[in-house]
Amino acid sequence: MEPFEYVVVLISLILGLGVAQLLNGVADMLAQFKKTKFSVAHSIFIVVLFLVFFQEWWYTYQYSKQIDQWTEPIVLALMSFPIVLFLLARFMFPTGSRSQETDLNAYFCENWRWLYGIFSFTILISIIQNITISDYSFVEQIPLMLYFMWYVVFISLNVQNQKYHNAFQIAQLLLWIYFFAGVDNGMLN
Distance CA 66, CA 170 (A): 33
The predicted pLDDT at position 97 comes to 57
Predicted structure pTM score: 0.90
- What own/partner pairs with CB < 8 Å and gap ≥ 24 does 153-160 have? 154/116, 155/113, 155/116, 155/117, 155/120, 158/113, 160/109
Question: Would you list the domain boundaries of the chain?
Answer: 3-182
Distance CA 88, CA 92 (A): 6
The predicted pLDDT at position 62 comes to 87
Partners of 103 in beta bridges: 37
Contact (Cβ atoms closer than 8 angstroms) between residue 41 and residue 168? yes
The predicted pLDDT at position 104 comes to 92
Q: Please provide residue 159's backbone torsions phi and psi, each rounded to the nearest 5 degrees.
A: -65, 120
The predicted pLDDT at position 85 comes to 97
The predicted pLDDT at position 180 comes to 82
Look at residues 65, 39, 32, 36 and name the one whose alpha carbon lies nearest to residue 134.
65
Distance CA 122, CA 175 (A): 16
In sequence order, what are the residues at sequence separation of 6 or more whose Cβ sits closer than 8 angstroms to the Cβ of residue 138? 131
Series of mean pLDDT values for 10-residue runs along the chain (189 residues): 86 96 92 90 97 92 88 93 97 76 89 96 95 93 95 96 96 91 54
Distance CA 17, CA 57 (A): 12
